[in-house]
Amino acid sequence: MSQALIDAITEMNEDEALRLTTELLDGGTDPFSVLEACQNAMGVIGKRYEEGTYFLPELILAGEMMNQLSELIKPKLSASATDAAQLGKVLLGTVEGDIHDIGKDTVGFMLEVNGFEVRDLGVDVPIQQFVEAVREFQPQVVALSGFLTLAFDAMRDTVTAIADAGLRDSVKIMIGGGQIDEHVRKHTGADAYGKDAMAAVNLAKGWIGG
């Protein structure tokens, strides 16, 4: 993993991050390794925000940087992913109160190239919208994203609302985001958490088969 790339992203050096990413990919570095470096950097940025070292402008800049880096990485990921028959449906979205699509878009992309039909509800998704989408789209998996700790209660409330609607037994629910761990999973009532995009893909494959 490239520590230089992690440092460039965490220090908000956009030009250097883009240069290093291009250099690594053109040099034959595994695109998953480059993606992992980006995700590690976003984890650092998230912690700095929580600690009050970074503020909203830094988060916005980091999100814009990640979108640009993703555009470089995605074609390489797509080329390295195996074609697969449609495995099942995944409903994806960032929970209410959180406006970050950092990581979510990458998870959605990785699920798609691995053969899943993905419906992305976007960011700051109201709880009832998740419930209605589960009822209408009928996914086997619901993936709740949240970058900040303030998202944890919204994740819990979303899981609870899906259960209250009588839909909990029909879906498996995964959560993901910068600060997610087993303690948070228990708090939310989700079935599992994924530490990165490939973990999300493996969870979905394990649940649905494939």
The pLDDT-based confidence of 84 (bands split at 50, 70, 90) is very low
What are the domain boundaries of the chain?
3-80, 88-208
Residue 169 has pLDDT above 70, yes or no: yes
Task: Note the pLDDT tens digit of each residue in 42-82.
Answer: 878 888 887 899 988 888 888 889 889 988 988 887 766 55
Query: Of all residues in the chain, what percent carry a pLDDT higher than 70?
Result: 95
Q: What is the mean pLDDT of the chain?
A: 89
The pLDDT-based confidence of 1 (bands split at 50, 70, 90) is low
Which of 46, 38, 29, 31 lies closest to 3 in space, CA to CA?
A: 38
Question: How is domain 88-208 classified at the CATH fold level?
Answer: Rossmann fold (3.40.50)
CATH of domain 3-80: 1.10.1240.10
Task: Note the pLDDT tens digit of each residue in 179-188.
Answer: 789 999 999 9
Residue 189 has pLDDT above 60, yes or no: yes
Instruction: Convert the chain into a string of H (helix), E (strand) and C (coil).
Output: CCHHHHHHHHCCCHHHHHHHHHHHHHCCCCHHHHHHHHHHHHHHHHHHHHHCCCCHHHHHHHHHHHHHHHHHHHHHHHHHCCCCCCCEEEEEEEECCCCCCCCHHHHHHHHHHCCEEEEECCCCECHHHHHHHHHHHCCCEEEEECCCCCHHHHHHHHHHHHHHCCCHHHCEEEEECCCCCHHHHHHHCCCEEECCHHHHHHHHHHHHCC
Q: What type of residue is 165?
A: A
The pLDDT-based confidence of 210 (bands split at 50, 70, 90) is low
Q: Average of pLDDT values for 115-143? A: 96
